Amino acid sequence: YFIIFSTMFQGVLKVYTSDIRQCTDYKTIRVSTKTTARNVIEMVLTKFKLTCRDPNLFELWMEVLFKLVKLNG
C-alpha cells in the first residue's frame, strides 16, 4: 500500500492566487511527478469554482530559493 501511495503523491505545491481572488493568498495543491502545469491550473480553477474560465488564459511562475550552507575548512 505504501508504494502505491508514494507513486501517486509526491508533495505539495503552494500556488499564490491573489490575482485570481483577493480573499486568499495561496492554495496548496497536492502534486505528483505526473502533474502538469495545466493540471495545476485546472485544480486551482476548480477550487475557486471558476471552471467556466479558459485554462489557456493562465500561466504558472516558479520561484526557486536556495539555502547556502557554509562548509568548515
Which amino acid is located at 51 in the chain? T
Within 13 Å and on the Cβ side, how many CA atoms surround 70?
A: 2
Whole-angstrom Cα distance, residue 28 to residue 41?
Answer: 12
Torsion of CA 35, 36, 40, 42, to 10 degrees: -110
**DSSP state for residue 40 in the 8-state scheme:** H
Please tell me the predicted confidence (pLDDT) of residue 28.
84
For 45-49, 53-57, 69-73, which range has the lowest pLDDT when averaged over its residues?
69-73
Q: Say if residue 54's pLDDT is above 80.
A: yes
- What is the pLDDT confidence band of residue 1, given thresholds at 50, 70 and 90? very low
Q: Say if residue 4's pLDDT is above 60.
A: no
Nearest to 29 by CA among 17, 12, 46: 12
- What is the pLDDT confidence band of residue 61, given thresholds at 50, 70 and 90? confident
